[in-house]
Amino acid sequence: MLAVKDLTIALGERQVLRNFVMDMPQGEIVAILGQSGSGKTTMLRAIAGLQCAQAGEVHLNRTCVLCGDKCLVPPQKRGIGMVFQDYALFPHMTVEQNILFGIASWSKKERQQRLQELMALVRLPVEMVKRYPHELSGGQQQRVALARALAPRPGLVLLDEPFSSLDSQTRYPLVDEVKRVLKAEGVSAILVTHDLAEAQRLADRIGELKEGLVETWQTVH
Protein backbone atom coordinates (compact mmCIF):
# COMPACT_ATOMS: atom_id res chain seq x y z
CA MET A 1 0.00 0.00 0.00
CA LEU A 2 2.98 2.29 0.65
CA ALA A 3 6.22 2.17 -1.30
CA VAL A 4 9.08 4.59 -0.74
CA LYS A 5 11.95 4.53 -3.24
CA ASP A 6 15.30 6.27 -2.83
CA LEU A 7 13.83 9.22 -0.95
CA THR A 8 16.44 11.96 -0.52
CA ILE A 9 15.82 15.12 1.49
CA ALA A 10 18.15 17.91 2.51
CA LEU A 11 17.07 20.62 4.93
CA GLY A 12 19.29 23.56 4.09
CA GLU A 13 22.85 22.27 4.00
CA ARG A 14 22.13 19.10 5.95
CA GLN A 15 21.35 15.84 4.18
CA VAL A 16 18.59 14.31 6.33
CA LEU A 17 17.48 11.31 4.26
CA ARG A 18 19.55 9.58 1.57
CA ASN A 19 18.06 6.93 -0.69
CA PHE A 20 15.60 5.88 1.99
CA VAL A 21 13.66 2.75 0.95
CA MET A 22 10.58 1.18 2.52
CA ASP A 23 7.68 -1.06 1.47
CA MET A 24 4.58 -1.74 3.49
CA PRO A 25 1.59 -4.01 2.92
CA GLN A 26 -1.91 -3.04 4.10
CA GLY A 27 -2.49 -3.52 7.83
CA GLU A 28 1.15 -3.65 8.87
CA ILE A 29 2.52 -1.53 11.71
CA VAL A 30 6.09 -0.39 11.27
CA ALA A 31 8.25 1.38 13.83
CA ILE A 32 11.24 3.49 12.93
CA LEU A 33 13.75 4.06 15.68
CA GLY A 34 16.14 6.96 15.65
CA GLN A 35 17.97 9.49 17.77
CA SER A 36 16.72 13.06 17.71
CA GLY A 37 17.84 14.74 14.50
CA SER A 38 18.09 11.40 12.66
CA GLY A 39 15.47 12.50 10.12
CA LYS A 40 12.61 10.27 11.24
CA THR A 41 10.10 13.11 11.56
CA THR A 42 11.17 14.53 8.18
CA MET A 43 10.50 11.11 6.63
CA LEU A 44 6.98 11.05 8.11
CA ARG A 45 6.28 14.59 6.93
CA ALA A 46 7.36 13.70 3.39
CA ILE A 47 4.96 10.74 3.35
CA ALA A 48 2.16 12.96 4.71
CA GLY A 49 2.86 15.61 2.06
CA LEU A 50 3.95 18.31 4.51
CA GLN A 51 7.50 18.22 3.17
CA CYS A 52 8.80 17.96 -0.39
CA ALA A 53 11.96 16.09 -1.36
CA GLN A 54 15.00 16.52 -3.63
CA ALA A 55 14.73 13.07 -5.17
CA GLY A 56 12.97 9.72 -4.83
CA GLU A 57 9.39 8.51 -5.02
CA VAL A 58 6.52 7.87 -2.66
CA HIS A 59 3.70 5.64 -3.92
CA LEU A 60 0.40 5.30 -2.13
CA ASN A 61 -1.84 2.48 -3.40
CA ARG A 62 0.15 2.48 -6.63
CA THR A 63 -0.30 6.23 -7.19
CA CYS A 64 2.86 8.31 -7.20
CA VAL A 65 2.20 11.09 -4.68
CA LEU A 66 5.79 12.38 -4.58
CA CYS A 67 8.02 12.06 -7.62
CA GLY A 68 11.49 13.55 -7.59
CA ASP A 69 11.37 17.15 -6.47
CA LYS A 70 7.61 17.46 -7.07
CA CYS A 71 4.90 17.04 -4.45
CA LEU A 72 2.15 15.75 -6.72
CA VAL A 73 -0.65 15.18 -4.21
CA PRO A 74 -1.20 17.72 -1.40
CA PRO A 75 -1.64 16.43 2.17
CA GLN A 76 -5.38 17.13 1.97
CA LYS A 77 -5.82 14.54 -0.78
CA ARG A 78 -3.55 11.74 0.44
CA GLY A 79 -5.96 10.13 2.86
CA ILE A 80 -3.29 9.75 5.52
CA GLY A 81 -4.01 10.34 9.19
CA MET A 82 -1.36 11.80 11.45
CA VAL A 83 -0.92 11.98 15.21
CA PHE A 84 1.46 14.78 16.12
CA GLN A 85 4.04 14.81 18.88
CA ASP A 86 2.17 17.67 20.60
CA TYR A 87 -1.18 16.13 19.50
CA ALA A 88 -2.09 19.43 17.74
CA LEU A 89 -5.64 19.31 19.09
CA PHE A 90 -7.50 22.46 18.14
CA PRO A 91 -7.71 24.37 21.43
CA HIS A 92 -10.86 26.27 20.41
CA MET A 93 -12.83 23.12 19.65
CA THR A 94 -14.38 20.49 21.91
CA VAL A 95 -13.40 16.82 21.75
CA GLU A 96 -16.38 16.18 19.49
CA GLN A 97 -15.53 19.05 17.13
CA ASN A 98 -11.91 17.92 16.98
CA ILE A 99 -12.81 14.33 16.10
CA LEU A 100 -15.41 15.37 13.51
CA PHE A 101 -13.10 17.96 11.87
CA GLY A 102 -12.01 15.67 9.02
CA ILE A 103 -15.48 14.29 8.27
CA ALA A 104 -17.48 17.51 8.15
CA SER A 105 -18.87 16.51 4.74
CA TRP A 106 -20.46 13.32 6.04
CA SER A 107 -24.16 13.26 6.92
CA LYS A 108 -25.07 14.11 10.48
CA LYS A 109 -26.16 10.56 11.24
CA GLU A 110 -22.94 9.07 9.88
CA ARG A 111 -20.86 11.57 11.82
CA GLN A 112 -22.58 10.83 15.10
CA GLN A 113 -22.28 7.10 14.51
CA ARG A 114 -18.55 7.42 13.77
CA LEU A 115 -18.09 9.57 16.87
CA GLN A 116 -19.73 6.94 19.11
CA GLU A 117 -17.68 4.21 17.48
CA LEU A 118 -14.39 6.04 17.97
CA MET A 119 -15.10 7.11 21.55
CA ALA A 120 -15.79 3.46 22.37
CA LEU A 121 -12.73 2.29 20.41
CA VAL A 122 -10.30 4.60 22.21
CA ARG A 123 -12.18 3.98 25.47
CA LEU A 124 -13.14 7.53 26.35
CA PRO A 125 -16.38 8.10 28.28
CA VAL A 126 -19.10 9.61 26.06
CA GLU A 127 -19.68 12.58 28.38
CA MET A 128 -16.18 13.78 27.53
CA VAL A 129 -17.21 14.90 24.02
CA LYS A 130 -18.13 18.38 25.24
CA ARG A 131 -14.80 19.01 26.96
CA TYR A 132 -12.04 21.20 25.59
CA PRO A 133 -8.52 19.76 25.09
CA HIS A 134 -7.02 21.70 27.99
CA GLU A 135 -9.58 20.07 30.28
CA LEU A 136 -8.17 16.59 29.53
CA SER A 137 -5.15 14.71 30.85
CA GLY A 138 -2.17 13.97 28.58
CA GLY A 139 -3.30 10.38 28.00
CA GLN A 140 -6.85 11.45 27.20
CA GLN A 141 -5.60 14.08 24.74
CA GLN A 142 -3.56 11.36 23.07
CA ARG A 143 -6.64 9.18 22.65
CA VAL A 144 -8.60 12.08 21.16
CA ALA A 145 -5.75 12.79 18.73
CA LEU A 146 -5.77 9.14 17.63
CA ALA A 147 -9.56 9.11 17.25
CA ARG A 148 -9.37 12.30 15.19
CA ALA A 149 -6.72 10.85 12.88
CA LEU A 150 -8.77 7.65 12.40
CA ALA A 151 -12.13 9.37 11.85
CA PRO A 152 -11.94 9.74 8.03
CA ARG A 153 -10.96 6.02 7.78
CA PRO A 154 -7.45 6.60 6.38
CA GLY A 155 -5.52 3.67 4.95
CA LEU A 156 -2.38 4.78 6.78
CA VAL A 157 -1.77 6.54 10.08
CA LEU A 158 1.51 8.27 10.90
CA LEU A 159 2.47 8.48 14.57
CA ASP A 160 5.11 11.12 15.32
CA GLU A 161 6.45 10.22 18.78
CA PRO A 162 2.94 10.41 20.21
CA PHE A 163 3.92 8.82 23.53
CA SER A 164 6.99 10.90 24.31
CA SER A 165 5.29 13.37 26.64
CA LEU A 166 3.58 10.68 28.76
CA ASP A 167 5.05 9.20 31.92
CA SER A 168 6.08 5.55 31.82
CA GLN A 169 3.11 4.51 33.98
CA THR A 170 0.60 5.66 31.36
CA ARG A 171 2.80 5.12 28.34
CA TYR A 172 3.09 1.36 27.93
CA PRO A 173 -0.55 0.45 28.64
CA LEU A 174 -1.50 3.15 26.13
CA VAL A 175 0.90 1.73 23.52
CA ASP A 176 -0.90 -1.60 23.82
CA GLU A 177 -4.24 0.19 23.53
CA VAL A 178 -3.17 1.98 20.37
CA LYS A 179 -2.05 -1.31 18.85
CA ARG A 180 -5.43 -2.82 19.62
CA VAL A 181 -7.22 0.16 18.07
CA LEU A 182 -5.06 0.15 14.92
CA LYS A 183 -5.52 -3.58 14.44
CA ALA A 184 -9.27 -3.29 15.05
CA GLU A 185 -9.52 -0.63 12.34
CA GLY A 186 -7.26 -2.68 10.06
CA VAL A 187 -5.19 0.38 9.30
CA SER A 188 -1.47 0.52 8.47
CA ALA A 189 0.69 2.68 10.68
CA ILE A 190 4.20 4.07 10.91
CA LEU A 191 5.48 4.99 14.36
CA VAL A 192 8.63 7.01 14.81
CA THR A 193 10.18 6.92 18.26
CA HIS A 194 13.46 6.75 20.14
CA ASP A 195 12.12 4.20 22.63
CA LEU A 196 12.91 0.58 21.73
CA ALA A 197 10.44 -0.94 24.22
CA GLU A 198 7.65 1.19 22.77
CA ALA A 199 8.53 0.08 19.24
CA GLN A 200 8.64 -3.59 20.23
CA ARG A 201 5.24 -3.44 21.89
CA LEU A 202 3.50 -1.70 19.00
CA ALA A 203 5.11 -2.72 15.74
CA ASP A 204 5.21 -5.80 13.49
CA ARG A 205 8.52 -4.65 12.08
CA ILE A 206 11.25 -2.32 13.34
CA GLY A 207 13.96 -0.46 11.48
CA GLU A 208 16.65 1.82 12.80
CA LEU A 209 17.27 5.04 10.92
CA LYS A 210 20.97 5.86 10.81
CA GLU A 211 22.65 8.43 8.60
CA GLY A 212 19.56 8.88 6.48
CA LEU A 213 18.62 5.26 5.77
CA VAL A 214 17.50 1.99 7.35
CA GLU A 215 19.96 -0.83 6.73
CA THR A 216 18.16 -3.80 8.27
CA TRP A 217 14.62 -4.49 9.32
CA GLN A 218 13.77 -6.68 12.26
CA THR A 219 10.49 -8.53 12.52
CA VAL A 220 8.78 -8.59 15.93
CA HIS A 221 7.15 -11.82 16.98
Partner 1 sequence: MNRGLALLIAVAAILAAPVFIVALSWLAPQSDLWAHFADTLLAPMLLNTLVLLLGVTIGAGLLGTALAWLVTLCDYPGRRWFEWLFFLPFVLPAYVVAFVYLGLFDFAGPVQSFLHAQFAFERIDIRSGHLAVIVVFTAVFYPYVYMLAKVGFQSQRHSLLEAAQTLGASNAGIFWRVSLPLARPAIVAGITLVLMETLADFGVVSMFNYDTFTTVIYSAWEDYRSVEMAAQVASLLVLLSVLLIVVERYNRGRARFYTDQSLMTPPFKLKGGKAWAATGFSGLVVALTFVLPVGQLLVWAWQMFEQEWDAHYWTLMANSLMLGITAGMLAVGVALLLLTLKYRQGRRHAASSFWVGLSSMGYALPGSVMAIGLLFVFWVLDKTLLDWLQNSFGIERVLLVSGGLGVLLYAYLSRFIAVAIGPMEGAFESIRPSYVEAAQTMGAGRFTVFRRVYLPLVMPGIAVAFLLVSVDVMKELPATYLLRPYGWDTLAIKVYELGAEGLYERASLPALGLILISLVVLWGVKRLERKR
Beta-carbon count within 10 A of 50 CB: 17
Number of shown-chain residues binding partner 1 (CB under 8 A): 31
Helix (H) or strand (E) holding 180: helix 168-185
Instruction: Indicate whether 90 belongs to the interface with partner 1 (CB under 8 A).
Output: yes
Phi/psi for 109 (5° steps) reads -65, -45
CA 140 from centre of chain: 17
Choosing from 68, 71, 72, 85, the residue that interacts with partner 1 (CB under 8 A) is: 85
When asked if residue 138 is in the footprint of partner 1 (CB under 8 A), the reply is no
Query: Is residue 3 near partner 1 by the rule CB under 8 A?
Result: no
What are the start-end ranges of the E strands in the chain? 2-11, 14-24, 29-33, 55-60, 63-67, 70-71, 80-83, 156-160, 188-193, 205-210, 213-219
Residue 29 found at the interface with partner 1 (CB under 8 A): no
Binding to partner 1 by residue 134, rule CB under 8 A? yes
Of residues 102 and 205, the one with the C-beta less far from partner 1: 102
Q: Which is nearer to partner 1, 80 or 206 (CB)?
A: 80
74 contacts partner 1 (rule: CB under 8 A) = yes
- Residues lying near partner 1 in the complex (CB under 8 A) are found at 48-50, 74-82, 84-86, 88-93, 101-102, 132-135, 148-149, 151-152
